[in-house]
């Protein structure tokens, strides 16, 4: 866990806890006056059922005076081992520090924050993008909230066509047609699908899509 500041008409403090394994922000909150009891309350909101130890083992924190003995005691009561970084050694909590740099470059450097409510709305919208769409090298180019790989049937069909496996190519083309894949409308201009043009199934697919059946190359005619 860590803090970072956001200057507005007054300085706002953002507290967050990040899960190292997936770079996931498990909790984030904004205040004008951070105190040790306030941090303890944030920890209770992160781990409401005292089950922290079942999912995590350590909680890394720096030597800020806000992280007082009361905070350390609260962390230990949740089944976590509080682990402080060395003095003036932010790189020892590198995952948290990189998140601070990321949110500054992606968001805070491009907006003027008006107040605490405005900052909360901005962070809420940004974290929705960060968790669901922003990829990370540390999690094998996936987003923090893992999602299944989306297959592109038309692209798979092109690979099979290039390998000469017509049956598999047409199976994936039919799947793409069933799913109404928008990329399928470029079927006539895909050079990898040229090997399929003499197959009756290719002509049949064009007719089902209401496309002209004459042979067309790339790029299409401008007429």
Query: Tens of pLDDT along 37-84?
Result: 999 999 998 886 555 556 788 999 999 999 999 999 999 988 899 999
Q: Are residues 18 and 127 in the same domain?
A: yes
19 membership: H or E segment, kind and range = strand 11-19
The 10s digit of each residue's pLDDT in 7-42 is 998 999 999 999 998 999 999 999 999 999 999 999
Mean of per-residue pLDDT scores for the chain: 87
- Has residue 47 been placed in a domain? yes
CB neighbours (10 Å) of residue 9? Answer: 8
Do the bridges between strand 58-61 and strand 24-31 make them parallel or antiparallel, or are there none, so unpaired? unpaired
Residue at which a domain ends, from 115, 139, 163: 139
The number of distinct structural domains making up the chain is: 2
Q: Residue 47 sits in which domain range? A: 2-139
- Has residue 29 been placed in a domain? yes
Calculate what percentage of the chain has a pLDDT beyond 70.
91
Q: Which two tokens stand for residue 54?
A: 């079942």
The 10s digit of each residue's pLDDT in 142-194 is 889 877 766 677 788 888 988 989 999 999 898 888 888 777 777 877 888 88
| CATH code, 29 | 3.30.420.10
Q: Are residues 162 and 106 in the same domain?
A: no
Q: Are residues 89 and 189 in the same domain?
A: no
pLDDT confidence bin for 222, thresholds 50/70/90: very low
d(CA 4, CA 13): 6
Using alpha carbons, select from 127, 128, 147 the residue that is nearest to residue 139: 147
- Has residue 132 been placed in a domain? yes
Between residues 93 and 189, the one the model is more confident about: 93
Do the bridges between strand 2-7 and strand 58-61 make them parallel or antiparallel, or are there none, so unpaired? unpaired
Instruction: Please check the confidence at residue 223 and state whether its pLDDT lies above 60.
Output: no
Residue at which a domain ends, from 139, 163, 198: 139
d(CA 85, CA 107): 27
- Has residue 73 been placed in a domain? yes
pTM (predicted TM-score): 0.67
Q: What is the pLDDT of residue 180?
A: 81
Q: How far apart are the first and last CA of the chain?
A: 62
Per residue, the 3-state secondary structure of 39-89, as one string, reads HHHHHHHHCCCCCHHHHCCEEEECCCCCCCHHHHHHHHHCCCEEEECCCCC
pLDDT confidence bin for 214, thresholds 50/70/90: low
Q: Are residues 45 and 135 in the same domain?
A: yes
Q: Are residues 118 and 16 in the same domain?
A: yes
For range 124-134, the mean pLDDT: 93
pLDDT confidence bin for 98, thresholds 50/70/90: very high
């Amino acid at each position: 866990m860590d803090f970072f500041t956001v200057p507005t008409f007054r300085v706002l403090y953002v507290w967050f806890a990040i899960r190292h394994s997936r770079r996931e922000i498990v909790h984030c909150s904004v205040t004008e006056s951070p105190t040790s009891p306030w941090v303890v309350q944030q920890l209770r909101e992160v781990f409401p059922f005292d089950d922290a130890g079942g999912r995590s083992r350590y909680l890394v924190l720096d030597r800020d005076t806000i992280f007082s003995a009361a905070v350390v005691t609260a962390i230990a009561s949740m089944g976590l081992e509080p682990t402080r970084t060395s003095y003036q050694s932010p790189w020892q909590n590198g995952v948290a520090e990189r998140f601070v740099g990321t949110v500054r470059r992606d968001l805070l450097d491009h907006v003027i924050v008006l107040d605490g409510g405005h900052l909360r709305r901005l962070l809420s919208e940004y974290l929705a993008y960060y968790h669901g769409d922003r990829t990370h090298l540390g999690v094998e180019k996936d987003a923090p909230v893992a999602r299944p790989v989306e297959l592109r049937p038309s692209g798979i069909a092109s690979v099979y066509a290039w390998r000469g496996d017509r049956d598999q190519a047409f199976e994936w083309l039919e799947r793409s047609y069933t799913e109404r894949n928008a990329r399928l409308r470029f079927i006539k201009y895909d050079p990898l699908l040229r090997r399929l043009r003499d197959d009756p199934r290719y002509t049949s697919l064009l007719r089902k899509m209401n496309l002209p059946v004459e042979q067309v190359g790339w790029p299409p005619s401008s007429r």
